[in-house]
């Protein structure tokens, strides 16, 4: 959110002077997103900015008139948020972040960190429309790499504790966590159950996860500010192509690796954009 504000500030928008914010958060509970979106529609805001796919879906279901700017949405075409990247149509545009291919790349890093890994559990958020392409791409990568994938869609975020119990029972070599699940809770549980955890979310290693490879999220949030500027100056969302990520980050948490008794290959550390010690 800091980079989003900075992006607007760089474009001349100062909170309280020429722009006002109405922040709403569902705290990871997808069932609360629709009423929150409807509340914003009732306030007659000029633009709705939706971070991540579930928020974008809720906003689109709440209005066909108010412009919606996506921040780090996953596969907006596949999830039905836009008609196409070049010609979004409707009232939705913005930036897309962790596509299915990027999610699958995390499985390659599992193999690089754990060369003998054969079983990987994948925790997905079933209330997030992006969970299907998320799981499909990882399953395809698993077949290529010879890794057995145990897909575990969670219908409620509070199922994550029980899911890690199942991950341990299944004797998974590692776990991949979808970004719309509680990242800090997932990182804590992974350490408690002593399973290396990966996620296509740069915030995940900061929260204590082992590794992440994803689009540079601060860069995405900053880019979403440019869409707000264009729309406020008269452009229509339907005519603004969805922006693909241009920067990607590899983040490794060495403190977590040591706690798990893992040695991260030096060749991987030299490629990392950030190493947390």
4-17, pLDDT tens digit by residue?
888 899 999 998 89
Mean pLDDT of 127-154: 94
Query: What is the overall mean pLDDT for the chain?
Result: 93
Indicate if the pLDDT at residue 99 is higher than 90: no
Tally: H helices and E strands in the chain = 11, 10
HSE, side-chain direction, 13 A CA sphere, residue 186: 33
pLDDT of residue 219: 85
In this structure, the answer to whether residues 168 and 228 fall within a common structural domain is no
pLDDT interval class at 248 (50, 70, 90): very high
Please state, as a whole number, how many other Cβ atoms lie within 10 Å of the Cβ of residue 194.
10
Torsional class of 44: left (φ above 0), alpha (ψ -120 to 50), beta (otherwise): left
pLDDT interval class at 43 (50, 70, 90): very high
In this structure, the answer to whether residues 270 and 238 fall within a common structural domain is no
In this structure, the answer to whether residues 127 and 10 fall within a common structural domain is no
Q: What is the pTM of this model?
A: 0.89
User: What's the domain range around 210?
Assistant: 100-214+249-276
Mean pLDDT of 209-236: 92
Instruction: Let me know: does 151 contact 122? Beta carbons within 8 Å.
Output: yes
In this structure, the answer to whether residues 126 and 255 fall within a common structural domain is yes
In this structure, the answer to whether residues 78 and 143 fall within a common structural domain is no
CA distance 142 to 118: 9
Q: What tokens does 117 get?
A: 């890994």
CA distance 240 to 92: 9
Indicate if the pLDDT at residue 98 is higher than 70: no
CA distance 67 to 92: 6
In this structure, the answer to whether residues 135 and 207 fall within a common structural domain is yes
Indicate if the pLDDT at residue 106 is higher than 90: yes
In this structure, the answer to whether residues 163 and 241 fall within a common structural domain is no
Lowest mean per-residue pLDDT among 128-132, 147-151, 261-265: 128-132
In this structure, the answer to whether residues 187 and 267 fall within a common structural domain is yes
Mean pLDDT of 161-188: 96
In 3D, which of 80, 25, 69, 74 has the Cα closest to residue 214?
A: 74
DSSP annotation of 248: E
String of DSSP letters for 59-109: HHHH-SSS-EEEEEES-TTTTTS-S-SS---TTEEEEE---HHHHHHHHHH
Comparing 74 with 147, which gets the higher pLDDT? 147
Indicate if the pLDDT at residue 266 is higher than 90: yes
pLDDT interval class at 76 (50, 70, 90): confident
DSSP annotation of 29: -
Indicate if the pLDDT at residue 214 is higher than 80: yes
In this structure, the answer to whether residues 10 and 83 fall within a common structural domain is yes
In this structure, the answer to whether residues 184 and 225 fall within a common structural domain is no
Comparing 111 with 1, which gets the higher pLDDT? 111
In this structure, the answer to whether residues 34 and 77 fall within a common structural domain is yes
Number of domains within the chain: 2
pLDDT of residue 159: 95
pLDDT of residue 172: 98
In this structure, the answer to whether residues 241 and 220 fall within a common structural domain is yes
Strand pairing report for 248-253 and 211-215 = antiparallel
Indicate if the pLDDT at residue 100 is higher than 80: no
Mean pLDDT of 18-43: 89
Instruction: Give the CATH number for residue 189.
Output: 3.40.50.2300
């Amino acid at each position: 959110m800091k980079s989003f504000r900075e992006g607007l500030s760089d474009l001349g928008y100062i909170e309280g002077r020429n722009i006002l914010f109405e922040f709403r958060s569902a705290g990871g509970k997808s069932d609360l997103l629709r009423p929150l979106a409807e509340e914003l529609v009732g306030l007659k805001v000029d633009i709705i900015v939706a971070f991540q796919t579930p928020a974008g879906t809720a906003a689109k279901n709440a209005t066909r008139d108010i412009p919606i700017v996506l921040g780090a949405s996953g596969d907006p075409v596949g999830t039905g948020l836009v008609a196409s990247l070049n010609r979004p149509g409707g009232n939705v545009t913005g930036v897309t972040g962790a596509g299915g291919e990027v999610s699958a790349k995390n499985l390659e890093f599992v193999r690089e960190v754990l060369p003998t890994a054969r079983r990987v559990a994948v925790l997905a958020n079933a209330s997030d429309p992006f969970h299907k392409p998320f799981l499909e791409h990882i399953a395809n990568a698993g077949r290529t790499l010879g890794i057995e994938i145990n897909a575990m869609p969670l219908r409620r975020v509070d199922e994550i504790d029980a899911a890690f119990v199942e991950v341990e029972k299944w004797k998974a070599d590692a776990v991949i966590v979808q970004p719309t699940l509680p990242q800090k809770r997932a990182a804590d549980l992974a350490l408690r159950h002593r399973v290396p955890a990966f996620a296509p979310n740069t915030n995940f290693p900061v929260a204590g996860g082992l590794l992440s490879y994803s689009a540079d999220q601060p860069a995405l949030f900053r880019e979403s500010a440019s869409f707000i500027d264009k729309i406020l100056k008269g452009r229509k969302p339907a005519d603004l192509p969805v922006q693909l990520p241009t920067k990607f980050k590899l983040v490794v948490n060495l403190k977590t690796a040591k706690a798990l008794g893992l040695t991260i290959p030096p060749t991987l550390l030299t490629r990392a954009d950030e190493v947390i010690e």
